[in-house]
Structure 1
């Protein structure tokens, strides 16, 4: 079975208000606010996280993607849950917790791309582009969509970051 995939870009955002204004203009919407807590578990490859939407619903998400800056392919599988708390207990006991990330996400939809403006507790403001790939699209086509949107949103190459928020938080804790 082929896993669904997207092309992702993550970057630090210096001026979240200006970024939001551009995203509002391009998406022609105010965006949707989503509060979530992601708990990352130890696993032998890729990343496994439980996303708790704090409304009683959640998603167990496994994904694999290279830790490089710029557009990169991410393959993932998602299973919804109506009991994220008990699932977190079981997974914590079985695998151990790697780290946890709390964020407020403002989601904009622009074409086939999910644009996230994230306020991450302990890290600050970031944006993510997730170009949801169609089965007939090549990675290069997805990367081109991401790069064009980066230009329209005025995201600089210098602001790109690698890894997941949990990696950035764990690095911050080590540097203290």
Structure 2
């Protein structure tokens, strides 16, 4: 899967949520996420622009856990990249396996995320511990698909929502690493 994603810093969740409602976007869910990031013993993911994480999500008391690999960003305008994800049962056992084969735990990123659906877009409002408010808009495409039209439509949606700047290609992990 190719994840075409653009993120922007926003002034307030309330203002953007109002604009999303006016546009006709539907709030689909709200959940807490904890991402534990790892670095490879072979290559430095910070230098190769890759990511490996274990994500635990909690929604209405239900917990789900995933391993996600994100490949390097494939353009200069967005966070578009290949993503591979699979469900697992136990985050600590998985982390133990990663560490036993040489992966190093880098940092945890915790956030409360509200999801909205609009046309073929998934929109999230992200309240990340230690960061300003952010919004992400993404479209998932099949591997090998041309992503330029999807990327342009994401920027058009940001514009409809009154967001013309504050775009960020840096991950939440990198933003937190740069602060602390």
Global fold match (TM > 0.5): yes
Report how far residue 69 of structure 1 moved: 6.6
Task: Go from structure 1 to structure 2 and tell me whether the alpha carbon gap of 1:104 and 1:113 turns closer, same or farther (over 3 Å shift).
Answer: same
Gaps of 5+ in 2: none
**Residues 1:133 and 2:141 are matched in the alignment:** yes
In the superposition, the TM-score normalised over structure 1's length comes to 0.86
Aligned partner of residue 66 in structure 1, secondary structure: coil
The corresponding residue for 1:64 is: 71
Selected match of 1:50 from 47, 54, 57: 54
Separation in 2, partners of 1:117, 1:68: 23
Distance 1:83 1:148, change over 3 A: same
Secondary structure in 2 matching 1:146: helix
Cα pair 2:74 2:81 within 8 Å, conserved = no
More strand per residue: 2
Quick check: 1:59–1:78 contact (8 Å CA) kept in 2?
yes
Root-mean-square deviation (CA, aligned residues, Å) is 2.1
- 1:14 corresponds to: 11
SS of 1:57 mapped into structure 2:
strand
Distance 1:135 1:75 in 2: 8
- Say whether 1:163 aligns with 2:170: yes
Shift of 1:17: 0.6
Deviations 1:138-168 (A, max 9, x none): 22111111111111122222x1112110100
User: Post-superposition shift, 1:68?
Assistant: 7.2
In structure 1, distance between residues paired with 2:160 and 2:53: 31
Q: SS in structure 2 opposite 1:131?
A: strand
Q: Is the 8 A contact 1:107 1:117 kept in 2?
A: yes
1: CA distance, partners of 2:56 / 2:160: 31
Q: Structure 1 pair 28/114, CA: closer, same or farther in 2 (3 Å)?
A: closer
Q: Which runs of 5+ in 1 are unaligned?
A: none
